[in-house]
Amino acid sequence: MSSEQEWTPLPPLGTGLHGRCPRCGQGHLFSGFLTLRSHCEVCGLDYSYADPADGPAFFVICFACIPTVILAFWIEVKFEPPYWVHLVTTLPFLLLTCIPPLRPLKGWLVASQYFYKAEEARFGTAAPTQPPAARPADEDSRPA
């Protein structure tokens, strides 16, 4: 396979929302609805780096579930309908606003991890350091 420098960076929003490989933009990211493939079938990129964790669920809860609950409360307070009305109105609205965005959001988060080279935090180990830059001679001679 080709080295990392041969691939031009692709925007994570476009590749992720379409479920495409973040490196080549052609391979598939998912093997099921939310199951990530082990690698890209086109360029061979290993997807083991990807860990969106609860990110997609968090965004769906914030931007879909909360408005749906507000809608359900509004229907209840305004009309005082029987419970079956909520089953017919609120439940489908909840399912239609929560399930479809999960896959594009997960793809976007995985593509963003690749694009920004996000990696797991390393606590307890020293970060790679670079030697401090030399100060100009005139800065050292100034009085404090």
Measured CA to CA in angstroms, residue 10 lies from 22, 50, 80, 81, 108 at distances of 7, 16, 51, 50, 12
Q: What are 16's strand-pairing partners?
A: none
Measured CA to CA in angstroms, residue 85 lies from 65, 89, 90 at distances of 18, 6, 8
pLDDT at 120: 79
Which tens digits make up the pLDDT trace of 53-92? Answer: 999 999 999 998 898 999 999 999 999 999 999 999 999 9
Q: What is the value of pTM for the model shown?
A: 0.77
Residue 125 lies in a domain: no
pLDDT at 138: 57
Residue 35 lies in a domain: yes
Q: Cβ distance 13 to 104 under 8 Å?
A: no
H helices of the chain, where? 12-17, 55-60, 66-79, 83-98, 102-115, 137-140
Give how many domains the chain has, as a whole number: 1
Domain that holds residue 95: 8-120
Which tens digits make up the pLDDT trace of 83-133? Answer: 999 999 999 999 999 999 999 999 999 999 999 998 877 787 766 666 656
Residue 79 lies in a domain: yes
Residue 142 lies in a domain: no
Residue 3 lies in a domain: no
pLDDT at 141: 54
Residue 25 lies in a domain: yes
Residue 136 lies in a domain: no
